[in-house]
Structure 1
């Protein structure tokens, strides 16, 4: 059974214009009835849920479209690149946390007075 764009949007927790945009950029393939109305069946809803999840984990719409490519190697390439970018971000955030923890515990008032603080500054 197919549902309308409004019903699909409500089920997915997005606005209808978001689903139209996803379709427009090629991230979502929606079938239409004889009158041109969009039909959201189980398969289209599952595809939309996948798009939504990929967006939630940080993929851009072009990355989502590529990650959903029927060609597995192309999809894997995009996902591997996103994993590498996220891992780099995690490392950067961890360094920031380490630095901030040190500054909270450091007995020096200014960064240049502490060799450890200076090391953090120069390593970035």
Structure 2
């Protein structure tokens, strides 16, 4: 039941997102969420808090840590906020590429025509392509196949 003064209780706010109230309390303890006010021992939240929780939920779904989210939402201005998100966007793009490569490997293994996909030259090529760059960063796919002509019939 919504509070009569237009504010939300912690239970109402958490329930709107399918969260437990202790999650909001934790976010409060790490500086992500601050109640508008307290009435006795009860926290009260506004529609702005609903927006903040939605932002936190989506940022977590995108893979940001609570610390990263705090750095973004507590940034002094929009430009700094955008810069922090730009750095995360680069990380997210790299993660998506690694996931794409992992999916390619799993999809091949599932549909592999070999009796045992571990003996498949194409799978070995995919795994070889996942090795690290010289600078230590992972790469998802290389241009030169491992195994050369031996993989043609097994793709």
TM-score by shorter chain over 0.5:
yes
Q: Is the alpha carbon distance of 1:107 and 1:33 closer, same or farther for their aligned partners in structure 2, counting shifts above 3 Å?
A: closer
Alignment of structure 1 residues 1-124 onto 2, 5 Å: 1-33=6-38, 35-68=40-73, 69-103=75-109, 104-105=111-112, 110-111=119-120, 114=121, 116-123=122-129, 124=131
Q: Which has the higher contact order (CA 8 A, sep 6+)?
A: 1
- Aligned length, in residue pairs: 121
What residue ranges of structure 2 are gaps of 5+ in the alignment? 1-5, 132-155
TM-score, length-normalised on structure 1?
0.78
Higher helix fraction: Structure 1 or Structure 2? 1
TM-score, length-normalised on structure 2?
0.65
**Rg comparison, structure with higher value:** 2
Q: CA RMSD in A?
A: 2.3
